[in-house]
Amino acid sequence: MRRPCYIVDSFAAHALVGNPAGVVLDGADLDAQTMQRISNELKHSETAFPLPAREPTAALHLRWFTPEAEVAFCGHATLATFHVLVEEARRIRVPEGRLTRMAFTCKSGRLNVELSRADGRLSVVIETPASRFEAAQIPAELAPALRIVPEALNPELRPWKSAILEGNLYVCVRDRETLARCRPDGPLLDRLGRQLGVAGFAVFTLRPAAGVDAAMRCFFPGYGILEDPVTGSAAGQLAALIQTVLPEALPRRLVFTQGDEMGRPGRVEVEVRQSMGGHHEMVSSPTPPVVPSAFRAFIGGNAVTILRGELEL
């Protein structure tokens, strides 16, 4: 059977930058093992499979696979999916000057998407899963695993662990130069990730340049991805974390950059909105404090199709 297959550079203004993702259409008959094998064949950090809706209020169901495992949410492959469904497959219509809202389901639950078009240019804004953070006690091996000195960590913003999805550790360093110097030791980071119960490490610095709120680098050795070019899911979580520990008036719009060290620069635009659950305060206790979901992050950016083809399977 021939299935439409695309490669899209997400969070990218032009081709061959940002984060590439595979998108395979018409996969309703594929089982998880076959999707996993396809993702391994395509070799991108994630491949998305938009599937028929599983509930009446959703437009579709989405699954994402790295070359080694299925994930609960992926930002850049979701952006790629809606770019393909609107601009390539023409399965979703987005009229000029109008906002189209729809929902999709996934392993993380039901999430919303806002689609619009201005001057012919498509805008995709994706709701990310609810945020919950735990203050983390990091092992002494973390700085050596990143090949930086312990003094390079920013003492004003302690590390936080995301307690949703597969979990990431968010680590703030002092400046952009420190971020650029990170040379992750994959096996050691993988061991530390298993010890901490996290899938990835999001290392960032605040306000690295005018108009940029944070520069990021993301490492996922447990998924066979030593470094990811531009990570939408981590950007959404980081925006919620920044709003939690450094609050400002909402809605708050942030800009993150990532991928420069890999030669694939990308830009993620994030809007933080108040969660339906309202505001929550951190509570001190003998165990590490947990910050529940007080904010919701919506991510967006540009996407460019670089390959159109058919998968013979």
- Tell me the mean pLDDT in the region 166-190: 95
**What does the radius of gyration of the chain's CA atoms come to, in whole angstroms?**
19
Across all residues in the chain, what is the average pLDDT? 93
User: Which band of pLDDT confidence, cut at 50, 70 and 90, is reported for residue 290?
Assistant: low
Q: Count the helix, strand and coil residues of the chain and give each as a percent rounded to the nearest 5.
A: 20, 40, 40
- Tell me the mean pLDDT in the region 146-152: 96
Strands 70-71 and 47-51: unpaired
CA 9, CA 106: separation in Å to the nearest integer?
22
Active site residues: 46
By the 8 A CB rule, do 294 and 276 touch? no
pLDDT digits (tens, 9 = 90+) for 68-98: 999 999 999 999 999 999 999 999 999 999 9
**Would you say residue 165 has pLDDT above 70?**
no
**Would you say residue 285 has pLDDT above 50?**
no
pLDDT digits (tens, 9 = 90+) for 21-64: 999 999 999 999 999 999 999 999 999 999 999 999 999 999 99
Residue type, 251: P
Name the residue with higher pLDDT: 103 or 294.
103
By the 8 A CB rule, do 277 and 309 touch? no
CA 51, CA 209: separation in Å to the nearest integer?
40
Terminal Cα distance for the chain, rounded = 5
**Would you say residue 287 has pLDDT above 50?**
no
Q: What's this model's pTM, rounded to 2 decimal places?
A: 0.94
User: Which band of pLDDT confidence, cut at 50, 70 and 90, is reported for residue 293?
Assistant: low
**Would you say residue 291 has pLDDT above 70?**
no
**Would you say residue 9 has pLDDT above 90?**
yes
Name the residue with higher pLDDT: 167 or 154.
154
**Would you say residue 279 has pLDDT above 80?**
no
Res 294: pLDDT: 77
**Would you say residue 282 has pLDDT above 70?**
no
User: Which band of pLDDT confidence, cut at 50, 70 and 90, is reported for residue 283?
Assistant: very low
CB-facing half-sphere around the CA of 213: CA atoms within 13 A: 21
Q: In sequence order, what E strands does 107-163 have?
A: 109-118, 121-127, 133-135, 160-162
CA 223, CA 200: separation in Å to the nearest integer?
9
Name the residue with higher pLDDT: 201 or 130.
201
pLDDT digits (tens, 9 = 90+) for 197-218: 999 999 999 999 999 999 999 9
